[in-house]
Amino acid sequence: MKAITSLIILVTLTTLGLKSNADPKIEYREISFTDSVQKKVVDPVCKMKIKPNVAKSSVYNKTTYYFCSEGCKQKFMATPSKYIPAK
């Protein structure tokens, strides 16, 4: 009986020792708590208010612009100066 108990304890300690020496691989997933509270943006072509997470987007002069549809995005990309206010 002592031999079985000793064997169980030995196996348990060995298993714990191997697990503690293992290289932990922790994967972190980025969680955004603001997804449901995102503010709406305005499409520069048709002036429609849209949510950025569902809109088409494009980067022009290091600024991201959002569009309600692929058509508005194509119009903007053809002549962006027409839709961007002068600074």
39-77 confidence digits (pLDDT tens): 888 999 999 999 888 889 999 988 999 999 999 999 999
Q: Where are the alpha helices (DSSP H) in 1-87?
A: 2-21, 70-78, 80-83
15-32 confidence digits (pLDDT tens): 655 555 555 565 555 444
Which residues have a Cβ under 8 Å from the Cβ of 14 and sit 6 or more positions away?
A: none
Q: Where are the domains of the chain?
A: 38-87
Q: What pLDDT is stored for residue 82 in this prediction?
A: 92
Which residues have a Cβ under 8 Å from the Cβ of 42 and sit 6 or more positions away?
A: 48, 49, 50
Overall pTM surpassing 0.85 (yes/no): no
More confident residue, 78 or 52: 78
79-84 average pLDDT score: 90
